[in-house]
Structure 1
Amino acid sequence: MDGNRRKKSKGKGKLGTLLEILCVSTKLGVTSFGGPIAHLGYFHEEYIRRRKWMDERSYTELVALCQFLPGPASSQVGIGIGIVRAGWLGGLVAWLGFTLPSVLALVAFAFLLQGYDIGNTGWIHGLKLVAVAIVAHAVLGMGQKLIPDRTRATIAIVAAAVTLLWQTAFSQIIIIMLAGLLGVALFGGKSQENSSDLHIPISRSVAIVCVALFFGLLLALPLLREWSKHEWIVLFDGFYRSGALVFGGGHVVLPLLERELVPAGWITKEEFLAGYGAAQAVPGPLFTFSSYLGALAGGVRGAIIATIAIFLPAFLLVMGALPFWSLLRNSSKMQGGLMGVNAAVVGILLASLYDPLWTSAVLQPKDFILAVILFGMLVFWKLPPWMIVLVGALGGTVLGYL
């Protein structure tokens, strides 16, 4: 089957294959509502079942790999499929098509808000309550999956407490690192099942360069930031570190970005929370929330810098990890460390549910009532996120008159 796919790809030519990837990924970028788990379902339907660009087992292995890596899992899966299809250019094109529609929508929303007093606007307050419901749902779902036992629940609780009581630029990084080490100690001795190899058109030497570049930028950017004080380097460093150190998907990047931008005065807390609520209404990856933040902080150039910076770690890690996946997947220590990290991620997200979300949005009993209604619509009635956003904005407007 792999041979047939490669022959078909060659028959179309490199340019034709790239254009095909761009068209299909753009279609997914316009229609993929519902968050990372839903995105993986869309990918499976379009890439695997309809177009058979990859077999079922290889797709499962790719999804497992991206769950191991920090960054936006669904975007990384899309990048990986593009790489398998047409090398690194295929990965780049797949990312561009899937990401660009939501980038354009959120940048337009940012420009709409510029020069507009959003602090006391009812529908903006409703979007804040949407963010409360969305993150509460994420905490619930991730908690059920990632902290199923007392040990991991304890790690999550401690991580939440430390996150709230020790709020520095490096606290969450240290929490994640310590949780990973604890996971290796507690869970690293379990044997793991063997997995299949993915056939990747990237050499291990190129993969090593990508990994070296990933860590090199992670270490060099903060130093360059302190040395130059240039605003664009500061912005690039903040978004790059946020994209490089986030495990658990788009919702978990919320506290990292908030602490990078709000205290420094790039944007206000109201603008931050309003954009996060609006990001739930657009298709594509939640990491494009960074495009909105970048646009508010620095216009079109800021949006481009923020988008590239936050997604660059994901691209480098997928490029660097794919050729070595079979070794990583079979490492019991790697899986044990990930179990500890995932538990800490739930705790960090729980802390962000309280601050800044709850403390900024739920100010009166009527706010709590609307938040609960939105949570119920999302969790029990299974309504799509875009509908939750519309109801939240309308409900916030109504609350403003009560």
Structure 2
Amino acid sequence: MPDMTPKGDAAEDQNKNHTPAMPADGVGLWQIFLIFLRLGLTSFGGPVAHIGYFREEFVARRKWLSDAGYADLVALCQFVPGPASSQVGMGIGMALGGLRGSLVAWLGFTMPSAIVLAALGMAFVGIDLGSIDGVIRGLKLVAVGVVIHALLGMARSLCPDIPRAILAVLAAGLMIASDTVLAQFAVILGGMVAGLLLLKNKVADDADRGSAPRSATGAIVALGAFFALLVVLPVLARLDPTGLFAVIDGFYRSGALVFGGGHVVLPLLQNAVVTPGWIDTETFLAGYGATQAVPGPIFTFAAYLGAALHTGAGGSGIVVSALTALVTLVAIFLPAWLLVVGLLPFWDRVRHIPSMRAGLMGVNAAVVGLLAAVLYDPIWTGANLDIFDIGCVILVFAILQWRIVPVWAVVGLGAVVGYLVGFF
């Protein structure tokens, strides 16, 4: 992540946009954990909204990361398998606190929704979403406002000229026309090629600060573990009569092979737990419904499924359910963490090469278009906004733009207003 200040007066204006203002005494692990815990309690709206919440917290508010460095991280996480927003959070934690920082960032962001969903899995019940429909709608409107605010902020920073603005528009159009994983790859790769061909003369004006080098040895070990587990776990599953390694293999494989993250993991999880008969379809769908009502990453659905595997075994079953929920939760997120740890050191080395910077400038513009496409569909089209809803979104945007109250307060206000409107 960024960390090398440009020299000379000519770079002063540039640094206003690209220089992270890290605290003089660094960032402690507890501070990282508490920030991500608050985000885990308040980040509703899905992966794209999470990216908006992260940007508001670490780029716009605290200025610990630059827009360019943050967008580079988002681009990397969009390109590799796994839950993109959780991987962005792990990457931020790693930039601020190293390996341990990545772990506490994941723990803080994941823990709130994981605990709620594991408890629901142990109770073997879903929730009646109709009873809190107003609250959910209010939270969705807040998420729309957060995404719009983040998108415009990134567009101003990452698409400051006509070539990059055109590139973002073309990327958005392609994603809207063909919302597939293949189209996402085409957008990112096309952005890199366009940057290499068209943006080399912009590199000096868009220089980003370097980062302290990280050990390549640990990265190689992490990447080796990622691929080794894909081979070893199926073998252990066949040899283990208890079925534990079969469960671990199913969730690890679901986390390792999903591109696009979020809802894309559902077919893989269904194949992992419903097809073998471990969980029935009704229980699976009830848990998925509950996952929509909690903040944080959708992958915490794994905690519900793990807990539900052993529900109904009496008092000792509660302990077993809790432990299984922990195992499935770690198993589905482990490949994402291994990829972040394994790729970031190499990413940091190559992303500062001038030609690579030109390519990444194109990628970042394409990512703006990709996020714009997701804002349009499914966030905007799926919200079915009326005049009142649009007014609420504009109000949320204004509050964030002028920093009237913190984001967590906006989320709480959205939930209360949504409940009152739904009640009356």
Band the TM-score falls in, shorter-chain normalisation: 0.5 to 0.7
Shift of 1:208: 1.0
Residue from 320, 329, 349 that aligns with 2:342: 320
1:72·1:250 contact (CA, 8 Å) conserved in 2?
Answer: yes
Given that 2:129 and 2:290 are in contact with CA atoms closer than 8 Å, whether structure 1 keeps it comes out as no
Instruction: Say which of 96, 101, 125 aligns to 1:90.
Output: 101
For residue 152 of structure 2, what is the aligned residue in structure 1?
none
Q: Which residue of 2 aligns with 1:376?
A: 384
Question: Residue 113 of structure 2 contacts residue 296 of structure 2 at CA under 8 Å; is this kept in 1?
Answer: yes
| 1:41 aligned partner, one-letter code | G
CA contact (8 A) 1:32 1:283 kept: yes
Alpha-carbon distance in 1 for matches of 2:266, 2:340 = 22
Q: Does 1:45 align with 2:53?
A: no
Gaps of 5+ in 2: 5-20, 141-168, 197-202, 311-320, 371-380, 393-410
The superposition leaves residues 63-110 of structure 1 with CA deviations (integer Å, 9 ceiling, x where unpaired) of: 111111111111111111111111100110011001000001111111
Alignment equivalent of 2:298, drawn from 267, 286, 304: 286
Distance 1:58 1:187 in 2: 20
Q: Specify whether residues 36 and 149 from structure 1 end up closer, same or farther in structure 2 by C-alpha distance, changes over 3 A only.
A: closer
Deviation at 1:220, TM superposition (A): 1.2
Would the alpha carbon gap of residues 125 and 273 (structure 1) be closer, same or farther in structure 2, given more than 3 Å must change?
farther
1:304 to 319, 322, 326: 326
The letter for the 1-side match of 2:308 is L
Q: Which residue of 1 aligns with 2:263?
A: 251
Q: 1:260 to 1:271 in 2, by over 3 A?
A: same
**CA shift for structure 1 position 224:** 1.6
Matched with 1:215 is 227
Equivalent residues in 2 for 1:1-400 (5 A)? 2=3, 5=22, 7-9=24-26, 17-112=28-123, 114=124, 123=128, 148-149=173-174, 153=178, 190-193=193-196, 196=208, 199=211, 202-298=214-310, 299-325=321-347, 327=350, 376=384, 381=389
Structure 2 CA distance for aligned equivalents of residues 145 and 126 of structure 1: 41
Aligned AA for 1:269?
A: T
Deviations 1:336-355 (A, max 9, x none): 9xx9xxx9xxxxxxxxxxxx
106 and 204 in structure 1: CA distance in 2 versus 1, 3 angstrom threshold: same
Contact 2:117–2:303 at 8 Å: present in 1 too?
A: yes
Could you tell me how far apart the structure 2 residues matched to 1:314 and 1:245 are?
Answer: 10
Contact 1:87 1:201 in 2 (8 A): no
State the alpha-carbon separation in 2 of the partners of residues 278 and 249 from structure 1. 18
Question: Contact 2:233 / 2:249 at 8 angstroms: preserved in 1?
Answer: yes
The answer for the alignment partner of 1:161 in structure 2 is: none
State how many pairs are aligned: 317
Contact kept in structure 2, 1:214 and 1:317, CA below 8 Å? yes
Mapped contact 2:3–2:210 kept (Cα < 8 A): no
- Secondary structure at the aligned position of 1:8 is classed as coil
CA distance in 2: counterparts of 1:302 and 1:272, whole angstroms: 16
Given that 1:200 and 1:322 are in contact with CA atoms closer than 8 Å, whether structure 2 keeps it comes out as no
Cα separation, 1, equivalents of 2:358 and 2:233? 31
Partners in 2 of 1:331 and 1:263 — Cα distance? 46
After superposition, give the CA deviation of every residue in 1:1-27 in whole Å (9 maximum; x if it has no partner).
947627421xx7xxxx00111111101
TM-score (norm 1): 0.65
Offset at 1:52?
A: 2.2
Please state whether the residue corresponding to 1:71 is helix, strand or coil.
Answer: coil
Partner SS state of residue 199, structure 1: coil
Q: Summarize the Cα distance change of 1:254–1:308 in structure 2 as closer, same or farther, 3 Å threshold.
A: same
Cα deviation for residue 197 of structure 1 reads 6.8
For 1:335-379, what per-residue CA distance to the aligned partner results, in whole angstroms no more than 9, with x for missing partners? 99xx9xxx9xxxxxxxxxxxxxxxxxxxxxxxxxxxxx986369x
| 8 Å CA contact retained: 1:58, 1:198 | no
Q: Is the 8 A contact 1:84 1:200 kept in 2?
A: no
Per-residue CA shift, 1:216-238, capped at 9, x if unaligned? 11111112212224311011100
Contiguous gaps of at least 5 residues in structure 1: 135-143, 157-175, 344-372, 395-402
| Partner SS, residue 248 of structure 1 | coil
Task: Look up the equivalent residue of 1:318 and give its one-letter code.
Answer: V
Matches of 1:183 and 1:37 in 2, distance apart?
19
Q: How big is the alpha-carbon RMSD for the aligned residues of Structure 1 and Structure 2?
A: 4.5
Counterpart residue number, 2:158: none
Deviation (angstroms), 1:47:
1.7
Q: 1:313 to 1:200 in 2, by over 3 A?
A: farther
In structure 2, relative to structure 1, the CA distance for the partners of 1:377 and 1:254 (3 Å cut) is: farther
Residues 38 and 125 (structure 1 numbering): CA distance in 2 closer, same or farther, change over 3 Å? closer
